[in-house]
């Protein structure tokens, strides 16, 4: 299945991505994200925001159909038409006084939403305290389309618990995959999953870092590695020292050397 994520760039640019082959045309689904908590998403022009219920009466999501002349993006390209189903990611409300997710989901379904991904917190709660799975269950019971549960999925047990508590059709992983791309395999395999070794984790961190260099250039990759790559070392003996050293690194070679030396330290064990 091909997905378009409508957030951060204009729809016209997304269609251009289709024409350039980054997304196969036509994609199956457009994914409208109105559940973001980041100020730059909520205040800026990124994404398609649906903050007010009264606007939903004029909203049609039954099928996106967009004709865009892509010559501004791709030389010699012609008009391209893309028709896709629309799914929506939402939180349970803005704050504790406006937990209106069930009403919003029902009205979005009437507008044509093909599925929902529900993050079981309000916007005001950000990422704490714990989630409120009862609201995902309420949405699942209120609509006929698939509902995906989201929030605090850090292990296979978390995913299983989400399904048990909510009856959702699937789970969406977010922060849990930071530094742990094996989480998806863990969820799929369950008890038969074998956790990665320290060496495997560092090898994947180095691969990730090299991709970052290719995509963003060395300067940005080094700066962002202090967060993105450091996640891979979480829970390993001596990892705090490694993260501290990475914070003072200025070049890609330094980051690679720090991680390689850490991987070669056979005396360090998992905490």
pLDDT in tens, 225-259: 888 888 899 888 888 888 889 989 999 999 999 99
Instruction: Say how far residue 169 (Cα) sits from the centre of its chain.
Output: 18
Rg (CA), the chain: 21
Task: Compute the distance between CA of residue 123 and CA of residue 43 in angstroms, rounded to an integer.
Answer: 13
Longest Cα–Cα distance of the chain, Å, equals 63
Asked whether residue 17 carries a pLDDT value surpassing 70, the answer given is no
User: What integer pLDDT is reported at residue 84 of this predicted model?
Assistant: 61
User: What integer pLDDT is reported at residue 81 of this predicted model?
Assistant: 52
Q: Which of 2-6, 92-96, 164-168 has the highest mean pLDDT?
A: 164-168
Provide the Cα torsion 139, 145, 151, 156; round to 10°: 120
Q: CB atoms < 10 A from the CB of 93, how many?
A: 21
Asked whether residue 201 carries a pLDDT value surpassing 50, the answer given is yes
Backbone angles phi, psi at 253, to 5 degrees: -60, -35
Provide the Cα torsion 52, 13, 45, 132; round to 10°: 50
Give the closest residue to 19 by CA, choosing from 72, 74, 63.
Answer: 74
**DSSP notation for 143-176:** -SS-EEEES---SHHHHHHHHHHH--SEEE-SGG
Alpha helices (runs of H) in 75-155, residue ranges in sequence order: 101-111, 133-142
- The upper half-sphere exposure of residue 8, i.e. CA atoms within 13 Å in the direction of its Cβ, equals 5
- Under the banding of pLDDT at 50, 70 and 90, the label for residue 53 is very low
Task: Compute the distance between CA of residue 145 and CA of residue 110 in angstroms, rounded to an integer.
Answer: 11
Q: Are 69 and 154 in contact (CB under 8 A)?
A: no
DSSP-based three-state secondary structure for 13: helix
């Amino acid at each position: 299945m091909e997905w378009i994520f409508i957030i951060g760039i204009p729809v016209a640019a997304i269609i251009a991505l289709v024409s350039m082959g980054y997304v196969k045309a036509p994609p199956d689904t457009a994914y409208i994200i109105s559940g973001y908590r980041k100020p730059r998403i909520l205040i800026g022009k990124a994404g398609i925001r649906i903050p007010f219920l009264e606007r939903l009466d004029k909203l049609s999501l039954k099928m996106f159909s967009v004709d865009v002349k892509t010559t501004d993006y791709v030389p010699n390209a012609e008009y391209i038409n893309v028709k896709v189903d629309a799914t929506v990611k939402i939180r349970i409300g803005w704050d504790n006084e406006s937990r209106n997710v069930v009403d919003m989901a029902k009205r979005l379904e009437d507008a044509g939403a093909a599925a929902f991904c529900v993050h079981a917190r309000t916007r005001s709660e950000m990422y704490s305290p714990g989630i409120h799975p009862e609201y995902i269950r309420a949405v699942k019971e209120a609509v006929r389309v698939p509902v995906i549960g989201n929030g605090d999925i850090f292990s296979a047990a978390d995913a299983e618990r989400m399904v048990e508590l909510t009856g959702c059709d699937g789970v969406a992983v977010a922060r849990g995959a930071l530094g742990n791309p094996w989480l998806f395999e863990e969820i799929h395999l369950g008890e038969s999953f074998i956790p990665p070794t320290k060496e495997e984790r560092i090898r994947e961190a180095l691969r990730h870092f090299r991709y970052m260099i290719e995509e963003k250039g060395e300067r940005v990759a080094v700066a962002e590695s202090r967060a993105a790559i450091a996640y891979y070392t979480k829970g390993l003996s001596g990892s705090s020292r490694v993260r501290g050293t990475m914070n003072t690194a200025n070049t890609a070679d330094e980051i690679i050397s720090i991680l390689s030396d850490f991987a070669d330290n056979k005396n360090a064990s998992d905490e």
